[in-house]
Amino acid sequence: MSTLTIYSKDNCSQCSFTKRFLSDHQVPYQEVNVLEDQEALAHIQSLGFQSLPVVEAPGLQPFCGFNMGKLQALLKAF
């Protein structure tokens, strides 16, 4: 199984909703707080994202925000 990464920050409601959705569906993920990891922040900015959360997994198109359609599609890959 590939590793799913959620780039987030503290006090981000969309980040919390996304993490809860994945946890409720038993999808393992690694969380990276971009306020504590400047390289991670630079990485998601290089992908063109300016809002959080950013969800990234090998072989899948990264996306941002609490996007139910994309999260449902993500379940099929995990």
Residue pLDDT, tens place only, 57-78: 888 899 999 999 999 988 888 7
Could you give the C-alpha distances from 35 to 11, 40, 41, 52, in angstroms and in order? 11, 9, 8, 11
DSSP state, 54? Answer: E
Q: Kindly list the structural domains of the chain, giving each domain's residue range(s) and its CATH number in brackets, ordered by start.
A: 4-77 (3.40.30.10)
Structure tokens at 71: 């999260």
> Rounded to two decimals, what is the model's pTM?
0.91
Do the beta carbons of residue 22 and residue 29 sit within 8 Å? Answer: yes
- And the tokens for 61? 């198109």
pLDDT in tens, 2-58: 689 999 999 999 999 999 999 999 999 999 999 999 999 999 999 999 999 999 988
Cβ contacts of residue 43 below 8 Å, gap of 6+?
7
